[in-house]
A = this chain, B = another copy of it.
Amino acid sequence: MNKMLAPGATIGILGGGQLGRMLSVAASRLGFKCHIFEPGAAPPAGHVAEKVVTAAYEDEAALRAFAEGVDVITYEFENIPTSALDLLESLRPIRPNRKALAVSQDRLVEKAFLNDLGLRTAPFAAVDDEIDLEEAIAEIGCPAILKTRRFGYDGKGQARLKSPEDAAQALADMAGAPSILEGFVEFSAEISVIAARGVSGEVACFDPGENVHKSGILHTTTVPARIPEALRTDAVLIAARILNALDYVGVMGVELFVSKAGLVVNEIAPRVHNSGHWTQAGCTVDQFEQHIRAVAGWPLGDGARYADVEMLNLIGADVEQLPELAKQPRTQIHLYGKAEAKPGRKMGHVNRVL
């Protein structure tokens, strides 16, 4: 399947959150239909998809029917059970491929992979028990951060160690899950590169954005990032090296720290990424359409940036600012259709053209 998927074809998306929702909308622009597979009821992506399958990842019959109803499968989050992927992959192509998922599902594997590519990461060590943690602290020092190797996002499954005395509590917070201790990187800024790779191996990157986090959740991304031109080039080269090494097809979010020693890779996400939402207001083709183009075997689109943009996340009660936001000029609102505004929940974002 190296040729262009024809309009009218159906793309299967694993996961029905806001990323799936915006992917489905982008797919419609290219004439595709989307089917969403999501265990949770009434997923945001379901409002703009041809079909929603509500089933568990353990439901083999549902997985099979889903796969048989689509032409290609992609995903909006990385924590998909291996057994589900095995079954789906036997029926339809999955893009990005399994290797990208395997690497990004496990922080330890991810960091080792990045180091093997010659890329800088924070210092790290595997931690499975008290002894590992003691040794890791001795090696890496404090402050440091203990994280579960798998299933963490938006600051969940993490514990900070200001000093070695915090070790016991941090380990308890992991609740026995295999973990990784990461040293802190001194950085002047955090940037993201949203990179895409097509089936023919061509790579295209959106202009790096500068991220600001609040309580472990992305707060704003601003383009252009305030970094020297040389680092902009470095960022793109790092992203390309990662994508090529994985024989990746689709969009990936690459988070980087700007340190005195150069760029340090913080994290990769094998999917469209919150820090790429600004592309909806600043580019002819946004990250969602770029991902669909790649997954569908189309040439990558033109993601050149033609505006300065600030993306601001609306978290929890932030969404109550809506009446004010709706009046503001140069402001593009994106809401995710979630019923309840819980604390820490991503309810939407706005793109401000600067």
Interface 9-mer from A132-140, A223-231, A332-340: A332-340
Q: Which of A310-354 contact B (CB under 8 A)?
A: 319, 322-323, 326-337, 339, 348, 351, 353
Q: Does A114 contact B (CB under 8 A)?
A: no
Q: In angstroms, how far is the closest chain B Cβ from the Cβ of A301? A: 8
A302 with B331, Cβ < 8 A, contacts A7-B337, A25-B28 known: yes
A30 with B333, Cβ < 8 A, contacts A25-B25, A48-B24 known: yes
Q: Is the CB–CB distance between B28 and A337 below 8 Å?
A: yes
Q: Is the CB–CB distance between B326 and A298 below 8 Å?
A: yes
The distance in angstroms between the C-alpha atoms of A304 and B353, with both chains bound, is: 11
Q: Which of A70-124 contact B (CB under 8 A)?
A: none
The distance in angstroms between the C-alpha atoms of A336 and B301, with both chains bound, is: 18
Q: Does A299 contact B (CB under 8 A)?
A: yes
Q: In angstroms, how far is the closest chain B Cβ from the Cβ of A136? A: 44
| Nearest B-chain residue to A303, judged by Cβ | B329
Q: Does A246 contact B (CB under 8 A)?
A: no
The distance in angstroms between the C-alpha atoms of A351 and B304, with both chains bound, is: 15
Q: Which residues of B contact A336 (CB under 8 A)?
A: 31
The distance in angstroms between the C-alpha atoms of A292 and B280, with both chains bound, is: 18
Q: Does A291 contact B (CB under 8 A)?
A: no
Q: Which residues of B contact A24 (CB under 8 A)?
A: 48
Q: Which residues of B contact A306 (CB under 8 A)?
A: 306-307, 353
Q: Is the CB–CB distance between B331 and A284 below 8 Å?
A: yes
Question: Digit string of A222-240 for contact with B (CB within 8 Å is 1, else 0)?
Answer: 0000000000000000000
Q: Is the CB–CB distance between A285 and B33 below 8 Å?
A: no
Q: Which residues of B contact A258 (CB under 8 A)?
A: none
Q: In angstroms, how far is the closest chain B Cβ from the Cβ of A290? A: 12
Question: Digit string of A54-79 for contact with B (CB within 8 Å is 1, else 0)?
Answer: 00000000000000000000000000
Q: Which residues of B contact A307 (CB under 8 A)?
A: 306
Q: Which residues of B contact A339 (CB under 8 A)?
A: 8
The distance in angstroms between the C-alpha atoms of A24 and B34, with both chains bound, is: 15
Known pairs A8-B339, A24-B48, A299-B327 / 9 extra A-B pairs, C-beta < 8 Å: A4-B323, A8-B337, A29-B332, A29-B333, A33-B337, A46-B50, A48-B49, A293-B326, A306-B353
29 A–B pairs (Cβ distance < 8 Å), ordered by A: A4-B323, A7-B337, A8-B337, A21-B28, A24-B48, A25-B29, A25-B48, A28-B48, A29-B334, A29-B335, A30-B333, A31-B348, A33-B47, A34-B47, A46-B50, A47-B49, A284-B330, A284-B351, A284-B353, A285-B332, A293-B326, A298-B326, A299-B326, A301-B326, A301-B331, A301-B332, A302-B330, A306-B307, A306-B353
